[in-house]
Amino acid sequence: MDKQEIFIFSSIGRKALMAISGAFLGFFLFLHLLGNSAAFWGAKAFISYAADLHSLPVLVLLFEVVLFCFFTIHIALALISYYENLRARPKHYSCHKNAGGRTWGSRTMPYTGLLILLFIIFHLLAFRGVKPVEIAALVRHNLSLPLTAFYYLISLAALALHVSHGFWSLWQSLGLGLRHTDLLRKSSLTISIIGGLLFSLIPLLCLLSANFLVSTP
């Protein structure tokens, strides 16, 4: 069978897989944001959320395996598409032409993607495998360091930019983008800005408030 005849190797198949994996990663971000928002109710609430999560090890492991698979698929497809675009591009430009309809989000996808990958490695090294009882103090400690907080804020801005185009692409893949172009573009941007700001509140509060995530006996 010709490689192009196998659905997942066809450009439509790859687009669909990119959309499905992106949607799952977005779903994870939504759950993570929901869980992290326990921090706004204080250190005890944050620790209790982490303890609840750790009390379901099989479910969490299953979710992590699926997350890792979708993450790997998403990166592999992005690399293939980046490589194909490079090959298809004419070698010499007399000037840089701005392809119609391209946005900041779409143009920077490979770079914001790379920043997010580096952020996740750094983030997992810092927080994965920590005991629930220590989690609030560790988040507080790490994110009240100006350099780390700044790194989080830059990475979260990159994430918001990446997700804004990701959402838009998802609508396109579902065939919705053609009808309500403007509305969907604006809603993608709004959702990603709100998500980015809510995530950013944690490093900002760690940096600026002396009481945030500090345990009271």
Distance from C-alpha of 200 to C-alpha of 154, rounded to nearest angstrom:
9
Stretch binding ligand HEM (CB under 6 A), from 79-87, 103-111, 167-175, 197-205? 197-205
Distance from C-alpha of 154 to C-alpha of 148, rounded to nearest angstrom:
10
Stretch binding ligand HEM (CB under 6 A), from 7-15, 92-100, 177-185, 195-203? 195-203
CA–CA distances in Å: residue 192 to residues 53, 167, 187: 25, 8, 9
Residue 206: name the closest of 45, 43, 47, 53 by CA.
Answer: 43
CB closer to ligand HEM out of 77 and 130:
130
Stretch binding ligand HEM (CB under 6 A), from 8-16, 94-102, 116-124, 175-183? 116-124
Copy the structure tokens of residue 36: 């992290």
Stretch binding ligand HEM (CB under 6 A), from 94-102, 152-160, 165-173, 207-215? 152-160
Q: Is 148 in the site for ligand HEM (CB under 6 A)?
A: no
- Spell out the alpha helix ranges (H) of the chain: 11-36, 43-54, 57-88, 104-107, 109-127, 132-143, 146-173, 181-208
Distance from C-alpha of 14 to C-alpha of 10, rounded to nearest angstrom:
6
Please answer whether residues 87 and 80 qualify as being in contact, where contact means their C-beta atoms are separated by less than 8 angstroms.
no
CB closer to ligand HEM out of 3 and 128:
128
Stretch binding ligand HEM (CB under 6 A), from 102-110, 115-123, 166-174, 184-192? 115-123
Q: Is 199 in the site for ligand HEM (CB under 6 A)?
A: yes
Rounded least distance, CB 108 to ligand HEM, Å: 16
Q: Is 135 in the site for ligand HEM (CB under 6 A)?
A: yes
Distance from C-alpha of 202 to C-alpha of 188, rounded to nearest angstrom:
23
Q: Which of 13, 32, 211, 215 is the binder for ligand HEM (CB under 6 A)?
A: 32
Which residues 42-101 are close enough to bind ligand HEM by CB under 6 A? 50, 53, 60, 64
Please answer whether residues 47 and 132 qualify as being in contact, where contact means their C-beta atoms are separated by less than 8 angstroms.
yes
> Which chain residues interact with ligand HEM by CB under 6 A?
32, 36, 50, 53, 60, 64, 116, 120, 123-124, 127-128, 135, 139, 152, 156, 159, 199, 202-203
